[in-house]
Amino acid sequence: MNDWIPVTKLEEIPRLGARKLQAGELDIALFRTGSDEVFALRDRCPHRGGPLSQGIVHGEAVTCPLHNWKIDLQSGEVQGPDQGCVHSFAVRIEEGVVYLDIASLESAA
């Protein structure tokens, strides 16, 4: 079951940028790509916990600000031979409003 709740407006996230979203104890990074797609990942780099929301967004990836690991926004998989994966959450945009599936949050917590 999905449980969509609105979290912000699309325009509140800078294009090719990110916003940090606090969901209780959990920090989530919301990314907006150059083509206005939005993705949500846990805001913790699988390497040493760097805040992914502070990285540079390019294509459908973000590069961690601490040691430059590159992470796929769609899957949360680390790209290249580095191993690792960060939890990703389902996102939907409707009429300029960004919705997050909080059912998927429970599984991450």
Residues engaged in binding ligand FES (CB under 6 A): 45, 47-50, 64, 66-69
63 contacts other proteins (rule: CB under 8 A): yes
Query: Of 4, 10, 17, 103, which lies in the binding site for other proteins, with binding defined by CB under 8 A?
Result: 17
**Please, which residue, 8 or 75, has the CB nearer to ligand FES?**
75
From CA 19, how far away is CA 52, in angstroms rounded? 10
From CA 28, how far away is CA 44, in angstroms rounded? 8
**Please, which residue, 7 or 61, has the CB nearer to ligand FES?**
61
Query: Of 37, 77, 82, 101, which lies in the binding site for other proteins, with binding defined by CB under 8 A?
Result: 82
Tokens representing residue 83 in the block: 């191993």
Distances (CA, A) of 19 to 1, 2, 34, 72, 80: 26, 23, 15, 17, 25
